[in-house]
A and B are shown apart, each in its own frame.
Chain A
Amino acid sequence: MRIYVLRQLVLLIITLFLLTIFAFCLSYWFPGDPVTNSSGIFSDDTMRYADAASSRGFDGNILVQYWHYLAHLFRGDWGISLLDSDPVFEQLQLRFGATLEIAVLAMLIALVPGVALGVLSALNFRKPIDHTILSMSLSGYSIPVFWFAQIAILLVAVRWGMLPIAGQINPLFNIEAVTGSILLDIFINQPENMGLAFRSAIRHITLPVLVLSVMPMMLLIRLTRSSMLDVLDKNYITSAYAKGLSTRRVISSHAIPNAMQNVIRELGSLLSLLITNTMIIEVIFSWPGIGSWLIRSIYERDYPVIQGGLLLIAALILCVHVALNLIHAWRYPQVRKDLHATS
């Protein structure tokens, strides 16, 4: 296990290193001046431009420049936005919390019904229930999330007027952003009418989270179903039945834990899909997260923001992947053995 953890961590560090090289190169590949692209200071601001150029080592060769880039990266000085001169790193910290909030909540909401329906449909293999659940999940993950969100807005928010559709909270509540995640922020700020603030925040968060949770839920159903079907064919299930265990015992303590192994392995690809959908949902619901900022910055050509945002999202995905691999290997020792044998 120790060797496996080390291997994974070394791999993570190497990929993160490659990622920083890539992000560094981006400021050359973007059209325009590399100094402006990486620091966000225009060349007509002569004094600060010269400052930025010298502090980023632009008088030296490319290796010196990369070294200075890394130093700035670790110092948390990611340049300023070309549009509104906000420091990129501070903004990203705030927006990261907001993005994580809806992504994590959607994943949690998707998890329980997804696994439950998957198990249900595997137990009723090729019966009407199975067919219903399967076709529901097939059409569920084929719905483009941006269209689904619009229909949800049209029906729930406009026709029935039940929920608000934009932002994190009613702007009348003056909540100072600390973590970016609105529910945590209300808790930290302790405003006078906390109950009302919480109600408003929850009403704002409901629709994006629900729309976002549909796709992972549908994929989870399919994953759970196919891995349950594999497991139910195994000999140990037959022997568990032969021991005289009740169906409930067999399913809950033999079939489901083993079926989860495959599901955890596939969870990584599901999470990266979730992240892209989060970006789209943020744009639609004007959620102040990384995704909406990144997409806005792409068509405003705000290069420091693009660079920082891409670096952060890609690093997040890589870290989550490694974490999932580690959890997988820790929970299921037989996987570990396989990995050692093949490597």
Chain B
Amino acid sequence: MPRPNLYYEERTPSPLERVWLEFNRNPLARAALYIIIFILILCIFGPWLTPYGPNEQILDAISLPPAWSDDGNIRFLLGTDELGRDMVTRIIYGARYTFGYPFLVVLASAAIGISLGAIAAMTVGVKSSTLKHLLDVLMSIPSLLLALIIIAITGPGLSNALLAIGLVLIPQFLHVTRNAIHDERQKPYVTASRLNGVSDMYLLSMVFFPNIVKVLVIQLTIGLSIAILDIAALGFLRLGAQSPTPEWGSMLAQSLEVAYITPWVMALPGIALFLTLVSVNLVGETLRIAIQKQLER
């Protein structure tokens, strides 16, 4: 039995609750969130879920179409490629390379970039306009081009590609953190804590950080989307993950030769990549809307 509400109390939901409400309001956004959680689970538990190894060749099943077509075999739900490797297995393993590693790389470069940005913002007087101009220039050069420069020096390979993407993302986090702290600097609540005589460390961690964490979360999703796309693009250009690795981008590159005979070998990694990117972008977008609404209240 529902209780009548006796008091006219206005309960403001907490910031996290409000984000959840925003996700609840939009079914597509919730679906995107579930897809990301699903991919994360695949990244972690993938090897236990798959019946075959990622590079295991089943020689009596070469270039089988997906199971629902007439020539398909239920043993291979999404068919096999031209070397007789199971597509489901390869795509599940690929989630690690295309989503898992970029995710870790983004976290690492966020940690470095945010702390550097905080230091840059807290040290007033040091030629901060020089830093700003330099960062502006660095930000104007596209991330893939910067990654290409780094790979040109270190040579192609998955670990070099990951390193390159990580290095490229650090200035972006630095820039965002620095700007966010600069915007908050002049606000009365910061002045109040300054007058209280708190230390810089306290100011940073207890005063600034809770107020800029929203901006950082949004930047995190943007960075993740950039990292996934760039890793896949590098894989596709054969500069990232190399041939037998089941990374989605390099799977697409390998499928070029057979795309006309067995189109599913090309379509499936692409669909996986597309779904991942749409979900990351949609979750980022919803977070942005939710935070904007909170600011407007």
User: A138–B31 Cα gap in the complex (Å)?
Assistant: 15
Stretch of A169-177, A199-207, A265-273 contacting B (4+ beta carbons < 8 Å): A265-273
Quote the shortest CB–CB distance from B227 to chain A (angstroms).
Answer: 13
Knowing A146-B233, A299-B238, A313-B145 are in contact, say whether A30-B140 is a contact too (CB < 8 A).
Answer: no
Q: Looking across the interface, which residue of chain A has its beta carbon closest to that of B280?
A: A142
Chain B residues near A142: list those with CB within 8 A: 225, 274, 277-278, 281
User: A135–B31 Cα gap in the complex (Å)?
Assistant: 14
B148 touches A144 (CB 8 A): no
Residues of chain B at the chain A interface (Cβ within 8 Å): 28, 129, 133, 137, 140-145, 148-149, 151-153, 155-156, 225, 229, 232-233, 236-239, 249, 252, 256, 259-260, 263, 266-267, 270, 273-274, 277-278, 281-282, 285
Chain B residues near A144: list those with CB within 8 A: 229, 232-233, 236, 249, 270, 273-274, 277
Interface majority SS (helix, strand, loop, mixed), chain A: helix
B278 touches A138 (CB 8 A): yes
Stretch of A69-77, A86-94, A97-105, A275-283 contacting B (4+ beta carbons < 8 Å): A275-283
Please, what's the 1-or-0 string for A303-342, where 1 marks a CB less than 8 Å from any CB in chain B? 0001000100110011001000000000000000000000
User: A339–B224 Cα gap in the complex (Å)?
Assistant: 32
B266 touches A299 (CB 8 A): no
Quote the shortest CB–CB distance from A103 to chain B (angstroms).
Answer: 12
Q: Quick one: which of A138, A139, A298 contacts B152, CB cutoff 8 A?
A: A298
A314 touches B145 (CB 8 A): yes
B274 touches A30 (CB 8 A): no
B142 touches A273 (CB 8 A): yes
A154 touches B260 (CB 8 A): yes
- Give how many A-B residue pairs fall within 8 Å (CB-CB): 107
> Which range holds the interface residue count of chain A?
35 or more
Q: Looking across the interface, which residue of chain B has its beta carbon closest to that of A131?
A: B28
B153 touches A29 (CB 8 A): yes
Chain A residues near B282: list those with CB within 8 A: 138
B145 touches A150 (CB 8 A): no
The 6 closest A-B pairs by CB, nearest first: A147-B270, A142-B277, A272-B142, A276-B144, A142-B278, A276-B142
User: A299–B238 Cα gap in the complex (Å)?
Assistant: 8
Quote the shortest CB–CB distance from A286 to chain B (angstroms).
Answer: 12
A275 touches B142 (CB 8 A): yes
Knowing A295-B239, A298-B152 are in contact, say whether A268-B140 is a contact too (CB < 8 A).
Answer: yes
Known: A30-B153, A146-B232, A275-B142. 20 other contacts (CB 8 A): A15-B137, A26-B149, A26-B152, A142-B225, A142-B277, A143-B277, A144-B229, A146-B236, A147-B266, A150-B256, A158-B260, A272-B140, A272-B141, A272-B145, A276-B145, A279-B145, A280-B233, A294-B148, A310-B145, A318-B140
